[in-house]
Structure 1
Amino acid sequence: MHEETLFHLPAAWQAPLAIGLFIATYALILAEKYVHRTVAALLGACAVMLLGLLAPDQAWGAIDFNTLFLLFGMMNIVNVLSRSGFFDLVARRALLLTRGEPVRVLWIFSGLTALFSAFLDNVTTVLFMAPVVVTVVTRLGLRPVPFLIAIILASNTGGTATLVGDPPNIIIGSVAGKGFGDFLVNVAPFAVIACVAGIALMQVLMTRRGDLSGFAAADRLQAALQDAPTPVVNRRLMTQALSVFAVTLLLFMVGHPLGLEAGLIALTTSTFLLLIADLDPVALFEQVEWATLLFFMGLFVVVGALEHAGVFEQAASALTAAMGGDVGTGILLIGLGSALISGFVDNIPFTISMASVLRELQGTLGAGVDPLWWALSLGACLGGNLTLIGASANIVVADIAAREGHPISFGGFMRYATPITLITVLLAIGLFYGAHQMGIM
């Protein structure tokens, strides 16, 4: 593992150099205002290979293609669903269900966002939900910013529930070898509780601050419906996309025991959808978030250098010492620590590196490490709600809000999100810890 690099650097230099490159890459990712995070990750990967920490074939082997295939496949299914008019139709139906009542607007759109985020990419979810929410609440005479913050919180919380809901879960599922059903059993119950509690707390805060006062008259609701264009629906395409999506979810649930990885399932079913759908595949591929896929590839290479240098073996030993042999202590350390860190830095590179540490720990603890995987999932995903820069969905909604003339300030976001996040994280991690201590999980 510790052979000399291509530049004949001493083996003792490999770990410090790999750590230095990881920190430098992380710093560039945080400075996304000046350097795009995909460029930062690719620069880090290039440096790893140029310095000889990994040869090109080793770098290629460090990339987790199961994660990439899963993201790519789900992106294509979502793109076809969007083309069918499915999301526009759902948004219009949701508006009718609100009856112009502010509380119903909060619960219905937050609930829809959480539900979609559990089964689709949460960034894609907020991309189509946020503009709809701005239009609806503005036409109903309400202030958009609190409702947009509620959408952000629901997106990250809902995405915590499943394997495909949030990138940290995709990473954990691939590295730990966990399937869709594993997340439904071990993570979803606590995510659902946190989601419902989060929306209820948001209602309390918005009520105290006068954001839910008033009732939209029937003419305002009608104006809102007329203001939104009538959805153009391709029912044949929608049926095809929803059918393939349902089959994909079914295969996620039964595929893991059969040895079928989620990435292979998503790639296969999405390719079949492209085969039967009457759409131009090239046009669909242009809508794939290639920057996100390349970002993951670059990070996997940078983290692969840490693994090759033996850094994760040392980190796993340190974590074992800190736990003192008590998995319950590990749940609190990893769950709460992940939530705090993920509130201020990108949770994707953090999860990739932490997952590698837990994989090393799995060699000594075996199945006993499983609760730590679920603690990492809950902490990394829920912690993204702590600040405006905690998760990609937060930044996407903030950009949409600014473009629509309703900017979300860093402090304004924290006034609502931070207390709610602290409570929901403590609630979810605390309940999970209690379940583990009682032998339920």
Structure 2
Amino acid sequence: MEHETSGLLPLLGIPLTQASMMSWSLAIFVGTYIMIVLEKYIHRTIAALLGASVIMTLGILTPEQAWGSIDFNTIFLLFGMMNIVTILSHSGFFYVVARKAVLMTRGNPTRILWVFSLLTALFSAFLDNVTTVLFMVPVMLKVTRQLKLNPIPYVIALVMASNTGGTTTLIGDPPNIIIGSIAEKSFMDFLVQVAPYASVAFIAGLLVMQLLMQRSGHLKAQLTEAEFKATLEASPDEFLDSGLMVKALSIFGVTIVLFVLARPLGLEPGVIALLTSTILALMTRLSAAWIMEKVEWTTLIFFMGLFIVIGGLEHSGVFSIVASALQQWIGQDISSGILLLGFSSALISGFVDNIPFTISMAKVLQEMEGALGPSMDPLWWALSLGACLGGNLTLIGASANIVSADLADREGYKITFIGFMKYGTPVAAVTVTLALLLFWFTHR
């Protein structure tokens, strides 16, 4: 059967049958994926835009179909939370929290590791993890520099805390945002089904990180308590706007409450984030142009381009075939499917960006849901745990890893691929195995 559409291929006399559409869309997807992996040479946003434009140019999707393939719930959620975080940051909130955290540690390296990791995990649960590392990593670089400690293992610890903490909620990590939107899962669903296992994994991972850093000699204090106090007193105070902070925290609190109530209210999380962030912008009277400049547009456009590339696979029927094969493989044995999907997702997410993988896999599970129904729900949570926690395996496993490495590199601290794996791989192995086995045990 030929596909009736306009585009370059029909113009050249090349018929777009279902089989040829599958071949073309798969080739474009693989090509886009390779470019994303090679981000050192091609920015991933450009790679996604190129893949999306080729999909439309060839005629696999019309511009209208491409636009319809974008999951705007995901885009609105990211956009809204970015705006709330921008205003919170401008108020000086994160500076206040970081300074209090430093005081709690009293300059003790082990306390610095635990306090900042716990703080990062908590922030990542309610903000996206890329945003969290954007303000936590510079603070950690400053603190470790003042205390004459090697910042690299501490930054890596923050990255892993961010990825693990972000696993606990719907809004904490991009894979969860994607799963929540495609599978129509609520904020409470993630708190009940994923958070307990991710929380246990976080504590275990942090203990492993402490052991590794202890063996490497990175937890030895270089300053006395008196010298530590002197460095604090020498640190200049930053800009604080308490009025703005109260407004931003109030709206942030309302947003979280509405996320919890989203299902009874019949609202999508993306719509909630868009509404509350807009109300906050109205309340603050900050320049709209200034707020828009702070939005991570490259991330949003990356998602949009990627959704179009994935839309080509969906439109051509690739996901139906993969879902059918996976369904035959798993059969009715959802218990085995948890381990198969969870561990394979973790391994794949460790070496390729977990965002395109999660979008693709979520579409496959969506196809399977039609045949298996609610009984396959555990597979959604296995995908969440595997894709999010597996991002700690290597430097390229998650967006937060790459962003943190770039921030450290700007300050003269190079985090290498092998250097990251020295800490990330053991921590990821423990957290993934523990979380998935606990989940499997309770759902077998």
TM over 0.5: yes
Q: Which residue of the partner structure matches residue 425 of structure 1?
A: 432
Q: Which residue of the partner structure matches residue 251 of structure 1?
A: 258
Q: Which residue of the partner structure matches residue 9 of structure 1?
A: 16
Q: Decide whether the 8 Å contact of 2:149 with 2:222 is kept in 1.
A: no
Equivalent of 1:276, from 276, 280, 283?
Answer: 283
Q: Deviations over 1:3-23 (max 9, x none)?
A: 344314233211111111110
Unaligned 5+ segments in structure 2 are none
Deviates most, 202-211 or 264-273: 202-211
Q: Decide whether the 8 Å contact of 1:100 with 1:215 is kept in 2.
A: no
Matches of 2:139 and 2:79, distance apart in 1: 26
Aligned residue runs from structure 1 range 357-368, under 5 A: 357-368=364-375
Matches of 2:192 and 2:333, distance apart in 1: 23
Q: Once the 2 structures are TM-superposed, how far is the Cα of residue 218 of structure 1 from its aligned partner?
A: 2.1
**TM-score normalised to structure 2 length:** 0.96
Equivalent of 1:226, from 224, 228, 233?
Answer: 233
Q: Once the 2 structures are TM-superposed, how far is the Cα of residue 215 of structure 1 from its aligned partner?
A: 6.1
Q: Which residue of the partner structure matches residue 150 of structure 1?
A: 157
Report runs of 4+ in structure 1 exceeding 4 Å deviation.
Answer: none
Q: Which residue of the partner structure matches residue 260 of structure 1?
A: 267
Q: Deviations over 1:195-242 (max 9, x none)?
A: 111111111111122111236312331233134331321111000000
Equivalent of 1:384, from 387, 391, 413?
Answer: 391
Matches of 2:223 and 2:206, distance apart in 1: 21
Aligned positions, number? 437
**TM-score normalised to structure 1 length:** 0.97
Q: Which residue of the partner structure matches residue 134 of structure 1?
A: 141
Q: Deviations over 1:400-437 (max 9, x none)?
A: 21222221121111111101110110000110000101
What letter is aligned with 1:331?
I
Matches of 1:187 and 1:220, distance apart in 2: 43
SS of 2:88's equivalent in the other structure is: helix
Q: Which residue of the partner structure matches residue 92 of structure 2?
A: 85
What letter is aligned with 1:285?
M
Q: Deviations over 1:113-172 (max 9, x none)?
A: 110011112111111111111121222222211111111110100000000001000000
1:325 matched to 2:346: no
SS of 1:256's equivalent in the other structure is: helix
Q: Deviations over 1:360-397 (max 9, x none)?
A: 00001111121011000000000000001111111111
1:197 matched to 2:197: no
Q: Decide whether the 8 Å contact of 2:208 with 2:426 is kept in 1.
A: no
Q: Which residue of the partner structure matches residue 195 of structure 2?
A: 188
Q: Once the 2 structures are TM-superposed, how far is the Cα of residue 2 of structure 1 from its aligned partner?
A: 6.3
Matches of 2:137 and 2:272, distance apart in 1: 30
1:107 matched to 2:114: yes
Q: Decide whether the 8 Å contact of 2:323 with 2:364 is kept in 1.
A: yes
User: RMSD of the TM alignment (CA)?
Assistant: 1.2
Identity %: 60
Q: Decide whether the 8 Å contact of 1:152 with 1:394 is kept in 2.
A: yes
Q: Deviations over 1:29-88 (max 9, x none)?
A: 111112111111111111111111111111111111100000000000000000000001
Q: Which residue of the partner structure matches residue 295 of structure 1?
A: 302
Q: Which residue of the partner structure matches residue 64 of structure 2?
A: 57
Matches of 1:385 and 1:208, distance apart in 2: 20
Q: Decide whether the 8 Å contact of 1:4 with 1:10 is kept in 2.
A: no
Matches of 2:356 and 2:154, distance apart in 1: 29
Matches of 1:422 and 1:228, distance apart in 2: 39
